[in-house]
């Protein structure tokens, strides 16, 4: 049973907790495909989205998820806020906390920012990406995409390729896929591998063709230029030649291997644009769809625990979806 008060990372979750989120998300996928997409699991609750970094997918899907579940959703416009006058992260969070939100969704450039906030506020905090640390809902939506596509989420060969060093998506995926007993290969240049990679329980490859041999899942990552403080690759052209996914390199994977990318993509840098759009191989659009369902499930379960903690547990049924 999912017993968390916050969703700060994959680290600390148990396998049954991950499975509970994915099982509920599966049901929300069905709901989201119906003409009436509304349910009541967050009825009466207030959700604040606080994004200190740009986002398209994560912010919009958290907003849609909250609204579909009946929450009052407020998107904090950080660029127009008193953050620009020098107000700190903690003071901003304490100010919002005084307005009694129930769910605070936070993206921040500093690793550990969400964990810090969770100690200061009364509501549930959801990490929407903190520095290079974690992006738990991305790993959960990736897991749901893989499970629905492959029919299982264990004993798969998964290649995570590209800029691993700067990627919170890679870190959360390594933790989740490891928890589910998959074989994980990291492929990329040594300059883009994290330090202490040998302690992650993964196999490391510098050659795409060697690393992609017989994998079930190919997960490409964006070059995170905004987190680079020097030259990590000779040139984007050279990088694409060696590490960009194209049909020739993908041919080394299993014939039914799926291609994933968390977005936003740099077409022609880490992935061939035509391959990214190939609906026979790419599940990139499915990942976006699963993002809404996973965020609905995560907020639903956190709200259930919040209500239970305040003695109102009976008000939200364990799977409080609309009838039908």
Q: How many CB atoms lie within 10 A of CB 11?
A: 13
Please give the Cα distance from 278 to 183 (Å, whole number).
Answer: 26
Out of 264, 273, 309, 317, the only residue in the binding site for ligand CP (CB under 6 A) is: 264
Give me the least distance between CB of 118 and ligand CP, in Å please: 20
Give me the least distance between CB of 169 and ligand CP, in Å please: 7
Give me the least distance between CB of 22 and ligand CP, in Å please: 18
Position 211 contacts ligand CP (CB under 6 A): no
Q: Are 134 and 172 in contact (CB under 8 A)?
A: yes
Out of 15, 23, 33, 56, the only residue in the binding site for ligand CP (CB under 6 A) is: 56
181: left (phi over 0), alpha (psi -120 to 50) or beta: left
- Report the Cα 142 to chain-centroid distance in Å: 7
38 belongs to the catalytic site: no
- Identify which of residues 182 and 287 has a Cβ nearer to ligand CP in the complex: 287
Which of these segments, 55-63, 108-116, 173-181, 223-231, binds ligand CP (CB under 6 A)?
Answer: 55-63
Identify which of 312, 319, 314 has the alpha carbon closest to the alpha carbon of residue 296: 319
Which residues, at least 6 apart from 202, have a Cβ–Cβ distance to it below 8 Å? Answer: 174, 178, 184, 185, 186
**Which letter, b or e, does each residue of 93-131 get, where b requires 16 or more Cβ atoms within 10 Å of its Cβ?**
beebbeeebbbbbbbbeeeebbbbbbeebebbbbbbbbb
Residues touching ligand CP, count (CB under 6 A): 9
Out of 138, 145, 157, 172, the only residue in the binding site for ligand CP (CB under 6 A) is: 138
Q: How many CB atoms lie within 10 A of CB 310?
A: 10
319 belongs to the catalytic site: no
37 belongs to the catalytic site: no
120 belongs to the catalytic site: no
Which of these segments, 52-60, 80-88, 113-121, 293-301, binds ligand CP (CB under 6 A)?
Answer: 52-60
58 belongs to the catalytic site: yes
Position 112 contacts ligand CP (CB under 6 A): no
- Identify which of residues 129 and 131 has a Cβ nearer to ligand CP in the complex: 129
Task: Point out which residues bind ligand CP (CB under 6 A).
Answer: 55-58, 129, 138, 262-264
Catalytic residues: 57-58, 85, 107, 135
């Amino acid at each position: 049973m999912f017993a968390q008060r916050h969703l700060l990372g994959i680290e600390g979750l148990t396998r049954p907790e991950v499975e509970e989120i994915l099982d509920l998300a599966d049901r929300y996928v069905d709901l989201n495909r119906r003409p009436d997409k509304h349910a009541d699991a967050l009825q009466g609750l207030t959700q604040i989205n606080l994004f200190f970094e740009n986002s398209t997918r994560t912010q919009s899907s958290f907003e849609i998820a909250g609204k579909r579940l009946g929450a009052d959703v407020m998107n904090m416009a950080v660029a127009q806020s008193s953050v620009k006058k020098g107000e700190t992260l903690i003071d901003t969070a304490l100010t919002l906390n005084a307005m009694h939100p129930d769910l605070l969704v936070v993206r921040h450039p500093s690793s550990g920012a969400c964990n810090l906030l969770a100690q200061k506020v009364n509501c549930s905090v959801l990490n929407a990406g903190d520095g290079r640390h974690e992006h738990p809902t991305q790993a959960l939506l990736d897991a749901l995409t893989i499970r629905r596509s492959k029919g299982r989420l264990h004993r798969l060969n998964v290649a995570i390729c590209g800029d691993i060093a700067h990627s919170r998506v890679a870190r959360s995926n390594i933790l989740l896929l490891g928890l589910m007993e998959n074989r994980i290969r990291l492929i990329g240049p040594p300059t883009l591998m994290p330090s202490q990679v040998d302690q992650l329980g993964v196999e490391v490859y510098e050659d795409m063709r060697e690393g992609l041999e017989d994998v079930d899942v190919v997960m490409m990552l964006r070059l995170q230029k905004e987190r680079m403080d020097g030259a990590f690759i000779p040139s984007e052209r050279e990088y694409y030649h060696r590490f960009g996914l194209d049909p020739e390199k993908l041919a080394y994977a299993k014939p039914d291997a799926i291609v994933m990318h968390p977005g936003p993509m740099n077409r022609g840098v880490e992935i061939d644009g035509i391959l990214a759009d190939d609906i026979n191989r790419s599940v990139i659009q499915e990942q976006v769809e699963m993002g809404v369902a996973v965020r609905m499930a995560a907020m639903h379960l956190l709200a259930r625990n919040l209500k239970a903690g305040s003695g109102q547990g009976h008000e939200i049924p364990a799977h409080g979806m609309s009838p039908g």
